[in-house]
């Protein structure tokens, strides 16, 4: 499933991330098995630009806003948190037990620099929407080339 999502995503991937994935997929473990152990890929993301902002949407069903931690450092967005286990269930009697509990984390390289201090986060119906304003691009300025003035003696 994560292979399909990776092909369909418009997420910017750094060369380092791409090489790490290549090594993991080729030599260590298939990506889907690695996802089960590391938690990477457990948060599905959409990332797009809108009105001079970078918008990131994350699917986080069953969580509460207080369960989330969001950080931007060196153009890397990290969403992490913890899900709580249901304590009223017994270990025996399960026919299927796929819902995970515990800590999760997803980091993604942003396509450009953002103003993290001006970011807004809204959580509604299991969808986290982050709006990250772009850092203003520097205006180009035309520089006029003047001929050197020589003083005659």
Q: Domain holding 21: CATH number?
A: 2.60.40.790
Domain membership of residue 39 (yes or no) is yes
Domain enclosing residue 27, as ranges: 2-86+98-133
Alpha-carbon span 138 to 136, nearest angstrom: 6
**Which residue did the predictor score with more confidence, 132 or 30?**
132
Domain membership of residue 52 (yes or no) is yes
This prediction has a pTM of: 0.60
Alpha-carbon span 128 to 46, nearest angstrom: 10
Domain membership of residue 152 (yes or no) is no
Domain membership of residue 41 (yes or no) is yes
pLDDT confidence of residue 138: 52
pLDDT confidence of residue 144: 72
Domain membership of residue 91 (yes or no) is no
* 90 pLDDT above the threshold of 80: no
pLDDT confidence of residue 14: 74
Instruction: Express each pLDDT in 27-84 by its tens digit.
Output: 555 544 444 444 444 789 999 999 999 999 999 888 889 889 999 998 899 999 888 7
**Which residue did the predictor score with more confidence, 19 or 137?**
19
Q: For the chain, how many structural domains are there in total? A: 1
């Amino acid at each position: 499933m994560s292979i399909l999502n990776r092909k369909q995503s418009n997420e910017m991937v750094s060369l380092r991330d791409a090489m790490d994935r290549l090594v993991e997929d080729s030599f260590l473990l298939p990506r889907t098995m690695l996802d089960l152990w590391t938690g990477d890929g457990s948060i599905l993301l959409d990332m797009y630009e809108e009105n001079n902002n970078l918008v990131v949407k994350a699917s986080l069903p069953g969580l509460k806003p207080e369960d989330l931690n969001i950080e931007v450092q060196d153009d890397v967005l990290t969403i992490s948190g913890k899900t709580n286990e249901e304590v009223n269930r017994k270990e025996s009697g399960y026919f299927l037990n796929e819902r995970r509990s515990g800590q999760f984390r997803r980091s993604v390289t942003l396509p450009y620099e953002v103003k993290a201090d001006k970011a807004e986060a809204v959580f509604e119906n299991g969808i986290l929407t982050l709006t990250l304003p772009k850092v203003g691009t520097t205006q180009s300025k035309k520089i006029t080339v003047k001929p050197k003035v020589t003083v005659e003696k």
